[in-house]
Structure 1
């Protein structure tokens, strides 16, 4: 490690009043490890800038890191995501420049799976409709919002990584049949979990709930499009805790308005934050939360430890637990003293 190893915190770590957005995010661990840290200057756009002073960046939001941006910052060797998602980060481009990218999936796995299950159960039990009936004094309407029991239902999970597998483990004891997409990357994990791999057409047609936990990539953008939605049952629900761009929101709005889909639970939208006149916000059969449903105390503590562990490991020449572009580890940037 060099004499001074400087870690930049992306400015979205702070609230408007200067307090740390997530509370205790483990900054004392960086200090105790001999690292200096500071909050980066305000960013003028979506692409990270002003990276030149830093050896590492701890990224709290979804700032984009391009090859060009890191090429202009030869001191930078590591971008650590405070979370699991990495859309907006050019993994191959940063690897070519010798900048390692890590994330913190272990801390996200259980809280995000529970967030997805929360939306499944809220939709199935028609929580919003019953809440409105009670608060509006319409007790005579309580029989109008009968729920959909979970036992014996089919849930199709799109994105069978650690979060998808955790969700399957939560659902199966409830008597749920779980499907996932037949992808080479998912087959071994799905087989071990007793989850059936099926083509996308079958998953759409047979699922009572389709749950998205996938990463957003060029190939997965608008994976749930009009054709997918038209294959779903009119009694089915869509839940998205992955990324908003996985869903064609115009097609989803049309399906919900036309009664071709019973409801949706969305913790993510595209873009974020949505425009005030976003049609999905006005629909009675949609639950929307602000990309925060998994932000529990255990989420913050676990992600903080994982993300800061990665920063400390790279600073001290150790291999971190979750490298996303490990080719960067052998680049001169990450092999210098």
Structure 2
């Protein structure tokens, strides 16, 4: 391998002061493997552009990658996501162009599942209410915020992929009943984990906590909408660590305002960042985090290793571990740099 192989890092890897947003993201591994890398020029709009000089792109944000964009970049053979999400990437279109897309589920799995569990426990234990009571000196009110124990409760997981199944593994020793909703291809995984797969309306009706870990696709957009929220228990909580677009936010706002659910924990919103007048910002029974709750040291190190492994494998003509559009590997572009 020569240093002719060039990896472009999307510019959102950098903070305004020029430092790397996540810290060490494994760029020395690319250099040691004989690859060059550089930060791409500033992007304008939501669709990535300026791909012509690059053999691979390491995508840190959520810029859209279209077939049209890669068709004008004959060197490009790989788009590597620094994370698990791939909404905005035309997987089939890139496969038709011979450009493989990879993500990093092995680095995301445990940190994101723990983030979901953190929100479940924080909601159940009324963490924010108790925090405010303490900081505002309202110790006499501490009996007003009694939580609910998690043992014996039901958690319904929408999206039983790597994160959903990891969350089930974390929950089961706590005496929790776990239900799942996902496409048929995930049913064997759920069965192996001892988790019952149920229809969406049943999951809504029986769950004390509904947790979204699904990918955002055209079929999953607003999977939690007004009808789903009407089916939830008034004592139930909604947790979303997947993508903001999985939830119909105006419908969620109405459900919270009307007291039809007990609260929500949201690490993701649609859009991000939210507008200053987003109604969800004003609810005392909603925990919001800025799509960063899983950004722990082990998340960064795990994702960095997985992403750079994929880049190095594709550069050397090897099959990467987590191709999202494996058809691209059948007619990949010229692999001689």
TM-score range, shorter-chain basis?
A: over 0.9
Where does residue 282 of structure 1 map in the other structure? 282
- The answer on whether the counterparts of 1:98 and 1:334 sit within 8 Å (CA) in structure 2 is no
Q: Which deviates more, 2-11 or 278-287? A: 2-11
SS at match of 1:16: coil
1:8-34 deviation line (CA, Å, top 9, x unaligned): 000000000000000000000000000
Cα distance between partner residues in 2 of 1:289 and 1:43: 26
> Structure 1 residue 256 and structure 2 residue 269: aligned?
no
C-alpha RMSD of the superposition: 1.0
- The answer on whether the counterparts of 1:99 and 1:334 sit within 8 Å (CA) in structure 2 is no
- TM-score normalized by the length of structure 1: 0.99
Matched ranges for 1:90-239 at <5 A: 90-181=90-181, 183-239=183-239
Cα distance between partner residues in 1 of 2:195 and 2:172: 9
1:57-99 deviation line (CA, Å, top 9, x unaligned): 0000111000000001111100000000000000000000111
Where does residue 4 of structure 1 map in the other structure? 4
SS at match of 2:333: helix
1:139-174 deviation line (CA, Å, top 9, x unaligned): 111000000110000000000001000000000000
Compute the displacement of 1:331 (Å).
Answer: 1.7
SS at match of 1:211: strand
> Structure 1 residue 39 and structure 2 residue 39: aligned?
yes
Cα distance between partner residues in 1 of 2:221 and 2:296: 28
> Structure 1 residue 265 and structure 2 residue 265: aligned?
yes
1:229-261 deviation line (CA, Å, top 9, x unaligned): 000000000000000000000000110011001
Compute the displacement of 1:183 (Å).
Answer: 3.0
Number of aligned pairs? 337
Where does residue 60 of structure 1 map in the other structure? 60
Cα distance between partner residues in 1 of 2:317 and 2:335: 8
> Structure 1 residue 296 and structure 2 residue 308: aligned?
no
SS at match of 2:179: strand
Cα distance between partner residues in 2 of 1:155 and 1:268: 19
- The answer on whether the counterparts of 2:102 and 2:310 sit within 8 Å (CA) in structure 1 is yes
* Runs of 4+ residues deviating >3 angstroms: 334-337
Compute the displacement of 1:185 (Å).
Answer: 1.5
SS at match of 1:333: coil
SS at match of 1:227: helix
